[in-house]
Structure 1
Amino acid sequence: MQKIVIVSDTHIPVRAKKLPQRLVEECQSADFIIHAGDWQTLDVYYELSAYTETDGVTGNVDPWGIADRFGKKKIFAFGDLKIGVIHGDGSRKTTEQRAYEAFAEDEVDIIVFGHSHIPVKRKMDGITLFNPGSPTDKRKQPQYSFGLLEIGDSWELKHVFFDKES
């Protein structure tokens, strides 16, 4: 069984000074971490990669160093499972529509995106669209969130919701 943590919109140090403990707990036992952009600093990458292999894409508020390192769009393969990752920012259409259209020419099973900070998990034309939300900036959402993907003979993708630490 492979365990993949999916996170986006950490916005550190602007929205939080550090990664929340609930996220760190899952990262400690993860096999891979996917970040869908708006890291805001490479320190987030360095911290996450101390737990396990970490990769992702750049978001609209990320500096050039992050953009140069990660790029705007990626596809990860875990066995037969293909995951497209994009931040989802842009103009016109919804974040979800932009993310979906970005992979129109690609064969993917899951599209991971961020930007809106709104947790999403739904199917569109047989593809699972997934926004993990944000672990540090929930905006108008009731809780903070990130995603967990477990891959074995089949795969299960879910949100992890939590309240701010005291």
Structure 2
Amino acid sequence: MKIVIVSDTHMPRKGRELKEALIEDLKSSDLIIHGGDFQTIEMYEEFMVYGELIAVAGNVDSEELHSLLPKKRIIEKMGLKIGVVHGDGTGKTTEKRAFEAFGDDEVDVIIFGHSHIPFSRYMKGVFLFNPGSPTDKRRLPYYSHGVLTIGDTWKCEHIFYR
């Protein structure tokens, strides 16, 4: 199973179109997980064109998206429990806020966004993954998204591009 992970698209404010590297992965995905900050309902609908979409609301998403999407969710795919949250808030790092959002929930992976900074690291036995942003790389040299592949084992990797 190929899951494309994306967050912080911020369109149309930070970009006018998705990069080809992301579009190619979306076309071949079995599932898309978005960690929030689409910004508009139109961007949410554009992702839905590519297939099944699991998403959460981010801090800059429209009221319409906040009424449609939860702030956090847990899904299970092929035995892997995946938590999804945007990670915004005050105090602590984005990673710690994302981790703490799942408190006593049993998850194997937490997908989050907000910082636009690609991140992949274990914290207390849980794998935390921030795909970065495909449209707003801030001071980083590359745009990015993620791909989670699940088979007999699983791996999660960043895809970087200009």
Q: TM-score range by the shorter chain?
A: over 0.9
Aligned residue in 1 for 2:16: 17
1:68-147 to 2 correspondences below 5 Å: 68-147=67-146
The reply on whether 1:40 has 2:60 as its aligned counterpart is: no
Please tell me whether the aligned partners of residues 88 and 115 of structure 1 are also in contact (alpha carbons under 8 angstroms). Answer: yes
Structure 1 residue ranges without an equivalent (≥5): none
TM-score in terms of structure 2 length? 0.98
Higher alpha-carbon deviation: 16-25 or 115-124: 16-25
How large is the RMSD of aligned CA atoms in angstroms? 0.7
Please tell me whether the aligned partners of residues 55 and 70 of structure 1 are also in contact (alpha carbons under 8 angstroms). Answer: no
The one-letter code of the counterpart of 1:5 is: V
The one-letter code of the counterpart of 1:130 is: F
Structure 2 residue ranges without an equivalent (≥5): none
Q: Distance in 2 between matches of 1:76 and 1:160?
A: 23
TM-score in terms of structure 1 length? 0.96
Q: Distance in 2 between matches of 1:76 and 1:42?
A: 22
Measured after TM superposition, the shift of residue 20 of structure 1 is: 1.3
Q: Distance in 2 between matches of 1:61 and 1:45?
A: 13
Report the count of equivalent residues.
Answer: 162
Measured after TM superposition, the shift of residue 129 of structure 1 is: 0.5
Please tell me whether the aligned partners of residues 118 and 144 of structure 2 are also in contact (alpha carbons under 8 angstroms). Answer: yes
Q: Distance in 2 between matches of 1:48 and 1:70?
A: 14
Identity of aligned residues (%): 55
Q: Distance in 2 between matches of 1:122 and 1:19?
A: 26
